[in-house]
Amino acid sequence: MERILDTLREKGASTALILGFFVAWELFCLVANISDILLPRPTQIIAALVKFWPAIWPHTYQTLYTTLVGFSIGVVIGLFLGVLIGSSRLAYDTAYPLLVGFSSIPKVAVVPIFVLWYGAGTVPAILTAMIICIFPIVVNVATGIATVEPELEDVMKTLKASKLDILWNVSLPRSMPYFFAALKVAITLAFVGSVVAETVASNRGIGNMMMIASSSFNVPLVFAGLFVLAGLGVTLYVLFSLIEHRVTGWAHRKTDLASP
Amino acid sequence: MNAQLRAAEAGGGAAPTAPFIEFENASITYGKGARAVQALAPTSLKIAEGEFVALVGPSGCGKSTILKMVGELLKPSTGFVFVAGREIGANPIRIGMAYQNPTLLPWLNIRDNVMLPLKIVPPFRQGFRAKRNSEFRDRVETLLKQVGLTGFAEKYPYQLSGGMMQRANLCRALVHDPDLLLLDEPFGALDQFTREELWAVMQDLWLSKKLTVILVTHDLREAAYLASRICVMSARPGRILDDQIVELPRPRTIDMTFQPDFVELNQKLRAMIVGARGGTGIVSHPPGAA
């Protein structure tokens, strides 16, 4: 019973904060008499969302599609590179500086290059989403794999375990908490990538829709686009958190123990 | 090298069988050039099958280095190490290893943790899937019972105390029926009473399985309680200063550790190690001077 109350108190506080934020926003706009060209009220944004939904939906689908495709490719490549770099000291030392170099390039800056290669549209958005989420995954997976206890490695080696045996039975499962932590970061970053690419060079997607809406001063629609993006981002984040908890619950046992 | 070994065997009438483990002037040097540090001076050592050898000595004396060479984790810088008559790297024997850090995998329950070597070591790995819920399960259950962990198979490592984790660690080192067990201070992090309990468990395991054990330890009582032979090593670079058979009868009990002959053995070992440390300049008074 106490546990239920605790959960309610926890969830209640965060729900109240979210609701309070929107109420304060609404009231602030009303009291300060702010024009909806500058900052529309949440109620106006929701009205726009409902009114334009048939037009918003294809853009939402497009953004979700490019983001998820880019994210999936990025995860596969990131996992592969992470395992490769984490498994060998030499690969780690050799490839790390190059990776840091790549990761420090602002990803927005590569969009024009992708457009040059593939033309405006879906492909640059996918590639931007992909490239932006590779790095956090590589770093996390490599860290998880490289930090296997040396004693455990010794135990495995005296069993004459092959590299693949060690990877499959020890290193990979061990790096899963790191991997999922990276996935949660990467999925939000992937949205940044695809939306940026859409704003710069596409005729579809939420980013593009927001550009067009702002050029016609339909500010509630611009904000409606933001709401859609926030909704998508939160949904996917929650999804990966749930998978994470199922797959790597062993790494989060402390919170379970704290409230028995 | 095998021919040489066979010749030595034929010549030496004292040992009826070839030594199970043989160090022939094996040394280990870490680093290169001016920064080279010799961790282990050229060492010769013979261990027969079924012996329980304890290596004691001051910190950093190369005890663990010897263990790692036997476990094929390190190659000697000079000299040779033979295990079961073959140079290391080519030996077909099965080895179990346990460190002070139990390194159980947190995502597996105790049963699956103990089963890990069966997934890797032939011939067990063939047919692992088919046998994991029958034959191997019983094998693990038997071992867990021997170390006093009956009923803990479904628990996860974090639900166990340090002593219990170390028991499970011993099971993991033994599940694949190793010919040789390498222990690097396995009971070092445990409290006195748990440690003494585990000595008894370890002794029972050794007496029932008759395997060869090499134990690295700081605890002289532990060495005297468990080992059939104790090698005392000098400070770095490590050398074997003394090599003696422990004559105390089996099975040994904790009560025996307070008997005069046990205490005498302990004092003798202690004096040797204090002397060995004295060589480093840390302790200057000779043993027995007071």
Q: Distance, in angstroms, between B239 CA and closest chain A CA? A: 24
Q: What's residue A95's pLDDT? A: 84
Helix A122-146 and helix A111-118, axial crossing angle in degrees, nearest 10: 130
Are A245 and A117 part of one and the same domain? yes
What mean pLDDT is predicted for residues A55-67? 94
Q: Which of A39-48, B8-17, B106-115 has the lowest mean pLDDT?
A: B8-17
Average pLDDT of chain A is 88
Both structure tokens of A201: 């060079």
CB-defined contacts A:B, below 8 A: 57
Contact of A128 with chain B, judged by CB distance below 8 Å, is answered with no
How many residues comprise chain B? 290
Residue A100: inside a domain, yes or no?
Answer: yes
Contact of B120 with chain A, judged by CB distance below 8 Å, is answered with yes
Q: Distance, in angstroms, between A255 CA and closest chain B CA? A: 13
Tell me if B119 and A250 make a contact (CB, 8 A cut-off).
no
Contact of A164 with chain B, judged by CB distance below 8 Å, is answered with no
- CB of A102 closer than 8 Å to CB of A244: no
Are A6 and A135 part of one and the same domain? no
Are A171 and A54 part of one and the same domain? yes
- Asked if the model's pLDDT at residue A232 lies above 80, the reply is yes
Q: Give whole-number Cα distances, B282 to A182, B223, B260, in Å.
A: 50, 24, 30
Contact of A210 with chain B, judged by CB distance below 8 Å, is answered with no
Q: What's residue B35's pLDDT? A: 82
- CB of B229 closer than 8 Å to CB of B246: yes
pLDDT digits (tens, 9 = 90+) for B29-40: 888 877 888 888
Helix (H) or strand (E) holding A9: helix A2-31
How many residues comprise chain A? 260
By C-alpha distance, the chain B residue nearest A167 is: B120
* Complex ipTM value: 0.80
Residues 6+ apart with CB under 8 A from A46: A224, A227
Q: What's residue A187's pLDDT? A: 92
Chain B residues within 8 A of A150 when measuring between CB atoms: none
- Asked if the model's pLDDT at residue A134 lies above 50, the reply is yes
- Asked if the model's pLDDT at residue A104 lies above 60, the reply is yes
Which of A151, A159, A170 lies closest to B99 in CB terms? A151
By C-alpha distance, the chain A residue nearest B181 is: A158
- Asked if the model's pLDDT at residue A162 lies above 90, the reply is no
In the DSSP assignment, the letter for residue B123 is T
Residue A137: inside a domain, yes or no?
Answer: yes
CATH of the domain at A224: 1.10.3720.10
Which of B97, B116, B158 lies closest to A158 in CB terms? B97
- Asked if the model's pLDDT at residue A65 lies above 90, the reply is yes
Residue A22: inside a domain, yes or no?
Answer: yes
Using CA atoms of A67, A71, A73, A74 in order, give the dihedral in degrees to the nearest 10: 130
Residue-wise over B152-174: b if at least 16 C-beta within 10 A, else e?
A: bbeebbeebeebbbbbbbbbbbb
Measured between alpha carbons, how far is A254 from B17 in angstroms, rounded to an integer?
A: 54
What is the phi-psi region of residue B151: left when phi exceeds 0, alpha when psi lies from -120 to 50, beta otherwise? left
Residue A163: inside a domain, yes or no?
Answer: yes
Are A89 and A119 part of one and the same domain? yes
- Per-residue pLDDT band at B6 (split at 50, 70, 90): very low
Contact of B186 with chain A, judged by CB distance below 8 Å, is answered with no
- Asked if the model's pLDDT at residue A253 lies above 90, the reply is no
- CB of A135 closer than 8 Å to CB of A192: no
Which of A151, A157, A248 lies closest to B103 in CB terms? A151
- The burial class, CB within 10 Å (0-12 / 13-18 / 19+), for B198 is buried
Average pLDDT of chain B is 83
> SS3 for B39-77, per residue?
EEEEEEEEECCCCEEEEECCCCCCHHHHHHHHCCCCCCC
CA A237 to chain centre: 7
Residue A249: inside a domain, yes or no?
Answer: yes
Q: What's residue B10's pLDDT? A: 41
Are A28 and A51 part of one and the same domain? no
Chain A residues within 8 A of B173 when measuring between CB atoms: 155
- Asked if the model's pLDDT at residue B140 lies above 60, the reply is yes
- Asked if the model's pLDDT at residue B2 lies above 50, the reply is no
> In what order do the strands lie in the sheet containing B21-30?
B37-47, B21-30, B78-83, B86-87
Contact of A151 with chain B, judged by CB distance below 8 Å, is answered with yes
- Asked if the model's pLDDT at residue B112 lies above 50, the reply is yes
Q: Which of A178-182, B121-125, B143-147, B229-233 has the lowest mean pLDDT?
A: B121-125
Are A51 and A174 part of one and the same domain? yes
- The burial class, CB within 10 Å (0-12 / 13-18 / 19+), for B269 is buried
By C-alpha distance, the chain B residue nearest A247 is: B107
What mean pLDDT is predicted for residues A63-79? 95
Q: Distance, in angstroms, between B94 CA and closest chain A CA? A: 7
- Asked if the model's pLDDT at residue A220 lies above 60, the reply is yes
Contact of B73 with chain A, judged by CB distance below 8 Å, is answered with yes
Are A97 and A4 part of one and the same domain? no
Contact of B99 with chain A, judged by CB distance below 8 Å, is answered with yes
Decide: helix, strand or coil at residue B30: strand
Are A25 and A132 part of one and the same domain? no
Are A65 and A27 part of one and the same domain? no
Residue A215: inside a domain, yes or no?
Answer: yes
- Domain range spanning residue A71? 44-258
Q: Distance, in angstroms, between A159 CA and closest chain B CA? A: 6
Contact of B96 with chain A, judged by CB distance below 8 Å, is answered with yes
Tell me if A173 and B98 make a contact (CB, 8 A cut-off).
no
How many CA atoms, within 13 angstroms, populate the side-chain half-sphere of residue A52? Answer: 24
Tokens 């080279």 map to which residue?
A: B36
Query: Which residue in B63, B25, B21 sits closest to B231, CA to CA?
Result: B63
Chain A residues within 8 A of B99 when measuring between CB atoms: 151, 154-155
Residue of B105, B118, B159, B169 to mutate for A, most A C-beta atoms under 10 A: B105
Tell me if A151 and B156 make a contact (CB, 8 A cut-off).
no
More confident residue, B129 or B285: B129
Tell me if A251 and B106 make a contact (CB, 8 A cut-off).
yes
By C-alpha distance, the chain A residue nearest B183 is: A155
CA A19 to chain centre: 24
H-state helical runs in A35-171: 42-51, 53-87, 89-104, 111-118, 122-146, 150-158, 163-166
pLDDT digits (tens, 9 = 90+) for B143-177: 898 888 888 999 999 889 888 999 999 999 999 88
Residue A39: inside a domain, yes or no?
Answer: no
Residue of A149, A154, A257 to mutate for B, most B C-beta atoms under 10 A: A154
pLDDT digits (tens, 9 = 90+) for B70-100: 888 888 888 888 888 777 666 678 899 999 8
Are A164 and A234 part of one and the same domain? yes
Measured between alpha carbons, how far is A159 from A161 in angstroms, rounded to an integer?
A: 5
Cis peptide before B251 (omega within 30 of 0): yes
In the DSSP assignment, the letter for residue A187 is H
Q: Distance, in angstroms, between B95 CA and closest chain A CA? A: 6
Are A249 and A157 part of one and the same domain? yes
Decide: helix, strand or coil at residue B156: coil
Both structure tokens of B187: 């009971």
Q: What's residue B90's pLDDT? A: 66
Q: What is the pTM of this model?
A: 0.78
Measured between alpha carbons, how far is B79 from B267 in angstroms, rounded to an integer?
A: 33
More confident residue, B85 or A124: A124
Contact of B119 with chain A, judged by CB distance below 8 Å, is answered with yes
Measured between alpha carbons, how far is A237 from A260 in angstroms, rounded to an integer?
A: 26
What mean pLDDT is predicted for residues B190-202? 88
Q: Give whole-number Cα distances, A200 to A104, A112, A123, A196, A221, in Å.
A: 20, 8, 13, 6, 19
Q: Distance, in angstroms, between A164 CA and closest chain B CA? A: 10
Measured between alpha carbons, how far is A48 from A35 in angstroms, rounded to an integer?
A: 15
Q: Give whole-number Cα distances, B161 to B41, B155, B158, B164, in Å.
A: 39, 11, 8, 5
pLDDT digits (tens, 9 = 90+) for A183-211: 999 999 999 999 999 998 888 899 999 99
Are A183 and A213 part of one and the same domain? yes
- Asked if the model's pLDDT at residue B115 lies above 90, the reply is yes
Number of domains in chain A: 2
Q: What's residue A129's pLDDT? A: 93
More confident residue, B14 or B220: B220
Q: Distance, in angstroms, between A170 CA and closest chain B CA? A: 8
Q: How far apart are the first and last CA of chain A?
A: 12
- CB of B166 closer than 8 Å to CB of B187: yes
Residues 6+ apart with CB under 8 A from B159: none
Which of A158, A161, A176 lies closest to B73 in CB terms? A158
Tokens 């939904």 map to which residue?
A: A53
More confident residue, B10 or A21: A21
Tell me if A158 and B107 make a contact (CB, 8 A cut-off).
no
Q: What's residue B76's pLDDT? A: 87
Query: Which residue in B98, B100, B177 sits closest to B142, CA to CA?
Result: B177
- Asked if the model's pLDDT at residue B282 lies above 70, the reply is no
Q: What's residue B7's pLDDT? A: 39
What mean pLDDT is predicted for residues A18-28? 94
Q: What's residue A127's pLDDT? A: 94
Tell me if A158 and B72 make a contact (CB, 8 A cut-off).
yes
Which sign does the torsion angle of CA B68, B72, B77, B83 carry? positive
Helix A206-215 and helix A219-247, axial crossing angle in degrees, nearest 10: 160
